[in-house]
Copies of this chain bind each other. A is one copy, B any other.
């Protein structure tokens, strides 16, 4: 599922432990896999929930529903992600977790995982890696929502999808077209803009030959320009990726 590029930024002495933990957790969850063909509520907000999950295929998201009916998608999970790891430590999750596309997930009762977590440092490290990685993305997303324009956010998000799908082995790194099963409403709920405005941003990108979304797929036609649009809000590590450098074309 992963090579060590996945663990960049982490202390190198932990890489092998992450891999062993990954395998151990996969073994322990083995047999619990369940496939969903459409939308499904995995975790209901604010109720006791004792499971930890692993996403094998498809997309899921952590979603906060506001009293007035609006939704904010806080975080999107992609294949290979462990999620609801904190079930081991908290009783309730303040947000729901939803399957956002046809997907397959495994799960395990928190007590069972917690036992291994305590006995096997590799399992603990793998869980902690997931939490820290998630925190990194949350930090980046706070920056995007706080300082980025709609265009910048969309660009950043598409780069994030592409990079994560490549790191998890779901797609090839050079692949410029990749599956993206979210609707514009779902994307907009994550981006903190309206679906209408997202639609306009996507049109601009399409017209400028930067990127096109259709039929549940994203085609990045000008990666460098896309990276340049997102650059102001990318974290320093992302901004310096070699495949992003070069072009001088502007988006708007």
| Interface residues of A, Cβ cutoff 8 Å to B | 9-11, 14, 45-46, 62, 64, 66-68, 70, 72, 74-75, 86, 89-92, 94-95, 118, 121, 125, 128-129, 131-132, 134-136, 138-143, 145-147, 190-192, 231-233, 235-237, 239
Question: From A14, which residue of chain B is reached at the shortest CB distance?
Answer: B89
Complex Cα distance, B136 from A211, in Å, reads 34
Residue contact B139 to A231, C-beta cutoff 8 Å? no
Contacts of A142 on B, CB cut-off 8 Å? 72, 74-75, 138, 141-142, 145
Q: List 15 A-B contacts (CB under 8 A).
A: A11-B90, A45-B236, A66-B143, A67-B239, A74-B143, A86-B135, A89-B128, A89-B129, A89-B132, A90-B132, A131-B132, A138-B142, A142-B145, A145-B192, A147-B192
Contacts of A139 on B, CB cut-off 8 Å? 62, 64, 74-75, 94-95, 138
Q: State how many angstroms separate the Cβ of A18 from the closest Cβ of chain B.
A: 10
Contacts of A9 on B, CB cut-off 8 Å? 90-92, 94
Q: State how many angstroms separate the Cβ of A191 from the closest Cβ of chain B.
A: 8
Task: Quickly give the copy total for this chain.
Answer: 2
Cβ-closest 5 pairs across A and B: A146-B192, A145-B145, A138-B138, A94-B235, A72-B146
Contacts of A129 on B, CB cut-off 8 Å? 89
Contact A237 to B94, CB < 8 A, known contacts A131-B131, A135-B134, A192-B147:
yes
Contacts of A140 on B, CB cut-off 8 Å? 94
Contacts of A64 on B, CB cut-off 8 Å? 139, 143, 235
Q: State how many angstroms separate the Cβ of A83 from the closest Cβ of chain B.
A: 12
